[in-house]
Chain A
Amino acid sequence: MALTWPGAGAMMPAHSIARYSVKYVRELLKGNTDSLLLSLISEKPMYGYQIIKELEKRSQGYFRFREGTLYPALHRLERQGYLSSRWERLPGGQERRYYQLTEKGSRNLARMTQEWQGFATAVNLVLRPVPAS
């Protein structure tokens, strides 16, 4: 069975569309990993598992971070000075590594957010042009 790919006019089988979508979303996510993480952590200090759950909940299941991607990204952001971390003991006795935004991270997040808003507006303008009157 073949379906049309919206907007492109090309014929593509359904499984190809699904594969393309997964790849496209993965690429989008890869490009925005840092801003999503910094944005979440800017609200309150969080630990890795909590970040995954929170991101999934907020995006209504759209974003599902692989654990193997999340932790190296958190460590990279910490080494770049955007995050700092500390170990805390939970009431149950378990220890968790909490990440929090630094001053530098905060400035970087503001810059990234501004860039993203400009980019998203431009993409929307191109994808949904104002109909000619």
Chain B
Amino acid sequence: MSAELKLYLRNLAARLRLEPSSEREIVRELTTHLEDRAQELCQEGATPEEAARLAFSAMGPPHLLAKQFYEAYSQGSWRWAFLAALPHSVFALFFALHLWRNLGWLMLFFVAILGMAFYGWRHGKPAWLFPWLGYLLLLVLGVGLFLLSLPLWAQVVILAYIPLAWWLLSTVAVQAVKRDWLYGSMVLLPFPVILGWVLALRFQGRWAEFVRQGHNADPWIALSFLTLAVAAATFIRLRQRLFKTGALLTPELLILILVTLSTQGLVGYTGFILLTLLALGLLLSPALLERRIGHGEGKPPEQANALSSHSH
């Protein structure tokens, strides 16, 4: 196969953002097509270079082709939508029923998270896995905070815990972003919400009361996580990438408005804007990471594109 065709296919692969096995199948199939077409054009009198160029021109620009393949694959089933919404829904239920201070229920939930995360990780990392990974990271963070709260002599444990937590965090982040940066955002979805509520309760001076005996904010916190559940399910069911991005960012903004309103003016416009910028920065940070590490096993799209442009 000519170098130009290889570059075209590499450029396409860098933009597909699908499961690695599906990407390999697509590239393999298009390779056979491009070879057939180039061979036919050569038989009609074109030079091999002309034939290669005509063959991939007929296929269309890689980004448009990748977009069409993405839309063919991106819609998950209702079962997947349910599974993606489940961890957020359970978390919402814990607040709605004031169960989140019950250690037994929390332990059960975190065991379920570990089980689902392990199962999903070993079975091709389907889209429903990523919300569960978000709560897995929350668990890691929670254990870290708990260790920090121990007496000083016991805090040596944290020296062993930090590298382990960092390894887990970076593995999850890199693997999610290598599939698609939107999955990285899906992992991070609960964090701005939790941060927002912690800040709101601290601003109101009700944090200690909230931790000790609960607070009338519980139903609103439940509503926030229920909104995340709807966002996750919608994300799974949508086909188009732009709408998927909107499905992740819009509910987050609505929740932050809810958080701000709940403080009855204590978090003003400036606080709201800072919180929103922080949330957007966090949720969009996987996109920046993707630009650095690239997608799948290929190069970042802009590098592949540069190679492709250079060859012309």
Q: Which of A's residues lie within 8 Å of B, judged by CB?
A: 47-49, 66-69, 71-73, 75-76, 79, 94-97
- Residues on the A chain within 8 Å of B26, using CB: 71, 75
Q: A67 near B59 (CB under 8 angstroms)?
A: yes
- Kindly supply a per-residue 1/0 record for chain B positions 38-81, scoring 1 wherever the CB is within 8 Å of any chain A CB and 0 otherwise: 00000000000000000000111000110011011100000000
Q: B69 near A75 (CB under 8 angstroms)?
A: yes
Selected A-B contacts with CB under 8 Å, 26 pairs: A48-B29, A49-B33, A49-B36, A66-B58, A66-B59, A67-B37, A67-B58, A68-B58, A68-B59, A68-B65, A68-B68, A69-B68, A71-B29, A71-B30, A71-B33, A71-B69, A72-B65, A72-B68, A72-B69, A75-B69, A75-B73, A76-B72, A79-B73, A94-B32, A97-B25, A97-B29
Cα distance A66–B55 when bound, in Å?
11
Main secondary structure of the interface of B (DSSP, over half): helix
- Residues on the B chain within 8 Å of A72, using CB: 65, 68-69, 71-72
Known pairs A71-B33, A97-B25; list 5 more (Cβ under 8 Å): A49-B36, A67-B33, A94-B32, A95-B28, A97-B28
Cα distance A21–B138 when bound, in Å?
58
Cα distance A75–B59 when bound, in Å?
15
Main secondary structure of the interface of A (DSSP, over half): helix
Number of interface residues of B (CB under 8 A): 20
Cα distance A68–B30 when bound, in Å?
10
Cα distance A119–B25 when bound, in Å?
37
Q: Which of A49, A69, A73, A96 has the most CB of B within 10 A?
A: A49
Q: How far is the CB of A22 from chain B (nearest CB, A)?
A: 16
- Residues on the B chain within 8 Å of A47, using CB: 32
- Residues on the B chain within 8 Å of A68, using CB: 58-60, 64-65, 68
- Residues on the B chain within 8 Å of A96, using CB: 32
Q: Which of B33, B69, B71 has the most CB of A within 10 A?
A: B33
